[in-house]
Amino acid sequence: MRLLTAMPMLLLMSALSTVLQAAGQKTDDKDEERIVGTWVMASAEKQGKNEPVDYTFRLTFTAEGKFTIKQKGPDAEISGKYKLNTGTKLKEIDLIVQGKSFLGIYAFAEGDLKLCLGEIEKSRPTDFVAPKGTKTILTVLKRGKK
């Protein structure tokens, strides 16, 4: 008997969930716009440990599907193309440099860009972690000043 009285509430919750998912889908369509601009490093993790923040790190995405990474060190500037796939549960990003792809996942959270990249052309992360024994890198980026 209680199940019968709860049924309308379950149907309402299911319908509401579907509407909310559809509304969320609209933000997915705008990821191509949201990602454009310059991002700075807020935190990084590699081999299961927090890494020092590189305050010189800048990752810039253009509306034309290109990206540039500027940082200190021997590989001070890297550029290439990027592709987004918003149609998967974990949104996918590929950073393509000289024909080779860094396979990754990304998410927007409270204005930040969470980016998790696996080993070149070998593996795409399945979660936002950078465990010991892998070459996965997890980075949280904040909008840079224009």
145 — pLDDT class (breaks 50, 70, 90): confident
Residue pair 128/138 in contact (Cβ under 8 Å)? The answer is yes
More confident residue, 22 or 42: 42
The b-or-e profile of 22-58 (16+ CB within 10 A means b, else e) is: eeeeeeeeebeeebeeebbbeebbbeeeeeeeeeebb
Per-residue pLDDT tens over the stretch 64-118? 999 999 988 777 899 999 999 999 999 999 999 999 999 999 999 988 999 999 9
CB of 54 closer than 8 Å to CB of 42: no
pLDDT in tens, 26-39: 444 489 999 999 99
Residue 18 backbone dihedrals phi, psi, to 5 degrees: -65, -40
Bridge-based pairing of strands 37-46 and 49-51 is antiparallel
In the predicted structure, residue 9 carries a pLDDT above the cut 70: no
Structure tokens at 30: 């705008």
Q: What is the pTM of this model?
A: 0.76
